[in-house]
Amino acid sequence: MEQFLYAAEVVVNGLMAGVMYALVALGFVLIYKASGVFNYAQGVMALFAALTLVGLQNGQVPFAHMINATFGTHLDTFGWTLPAIVAIALTALVMVGLAIAIEKLVLKHLVNQVPIILFMATIGLAWFLEGLGDVMWGADIKMLDVGVPKGASEALMTVTEQWTGYGFYIDRLDIWAAAIAAMLVAALMVFSQYTKQGRALRAVADDHQAALSVGISLRFIWVLVWSIAGFVALVAGIMWGSKSGVQFSLSLIALKALPVLMLGGFTSIPGAIVGGLIIGVGEKLFEFYVGPLVGGATENWFAYVLALIFLVFRPQGLFGEKIIERV
């Protein structure tokens, strides 16, 4: 019994971790669906959003190092602390600005190019954003605190202890992340199903030519979808940043999103979520049962091996569009 309950706790924690993976994968799916671009920069966008958020919140002067080095000044902070909600709203605006800049400076010039070219462009974008984040806000590790509760949920622990005699340890941050992710996905679904821009977005995702013929501006839709992806990156950045601090390694969470996408399919939002959950639970359970036998640290590779297996047997993922070649 004790063993079973412990496993159940592992599963719940896996689900929570899975939600965090799904958050990142979601940003990839949105852009891939609307423009067929695999946005390598999605992880860096999350890092950049988190850096900007911390910077704004703490009143850091952007480009302080550069300005100081050039003009011999000693700028550091503006000396204010913004309320979390204001800083988040401002960061969201920055992400919209970034989306507009990306469309104007990159995508616009690459219309009708093959996907690999656009993919390469997003690799460039990733490097650029990474550098920009460093130069703007400094390369040191930062703490992010926007008021998301952290630490074990006492209430849950007490309740589970009363019922089963075993207190579940679940981080409150994970519960919040799951709740926020669920709301985000619900909001995105409603937006794409019931609003005119959502309809236009689905139209563009389906057929560019037909979308043009009914008067949809592709460029507007691209800005819109990159803005939404920027916002999703911000949410992911907040959650991951609150959990483990804002630093370069934050951008590497994008790597964990890859197996999620291979499982869920690149074109399916529900797929991104289910994929994230499967990976989250899978790697925790695998570590729990198999880990001790092989010396542990299976979490580092389990997701990728699972993705490889999927690539061999079901390359379109669980929910992706079937790959059918007409001859």
Contact footprint for other proteins (CB under 8 A): 191, 194-200, 202-203, 205-207, 209-218, 224
Report, in Å, the least distance between residue 224 CB and other proteins: 8
Q: Say if residues 218 and 205 touch (Cβ distance below 8 Å).
A: no
Spatial separation of the C-alpha atoms in residues 19 and 275, rounded to whole Å: 9
Closest distance between other proteins and the C-beta of residue 259, in Å?
25
- Scored b (16 or more CB within 10 A) or e, 234-271 reads bbbbbbbbbbeebbeebbebbebbbbbbbbbbbbbbeb
- Residue whose CB is less far from other proteins, 199 or 243: 199
Per-residue CA distances from 18 to 47, 54, 162, 223, 313 (Å):
19, 25, 27, 28, 22
Comparing CB distances to other proteins, the nearer of 109 and 150 is 109
CB nearer other proteins, residue 62 or residue 198: 198
User: DSSP assignment of 264-277, as one string?
Assistant: H-TT-HHHHHHHHH
Least distance CB 114 / other proteins (angstroms): 20
How far apart (Å, rounded) are the C-alpha atoms in residues 27 and 32? 9
Considering the complex, state which of residue 50 and residue 223 has its C-beta at the smaller distance from other proteins.
223
Minimum Å distance from CB 125 to other proteins?
A: 24
The DSSP bridge partners found for residue 77 are 60
**Distance (Å, rounded) from C-alpha 84 to C-alpha 142?**
15
- Please report how close the Cβ of residue 39 comes to other proteins at its closest, in angstroms: 21
Q: Which is nearer to other proteins, 203 or 285 (CB)?
A: 203
**CB of 201 vs other proteins, minimal distance in Å:** 11
- Per DSSP, the three-state class of 45 is helix
CA 182 to CA 312: how far, in whole Å?
31
What is the rounded distance in angstroms from the CA atom of residue 278 to the CA atom of residue 10?
Answer: 13
Q: Which is nearer to other proteins, 191 or 304 (CB)?
A: 191
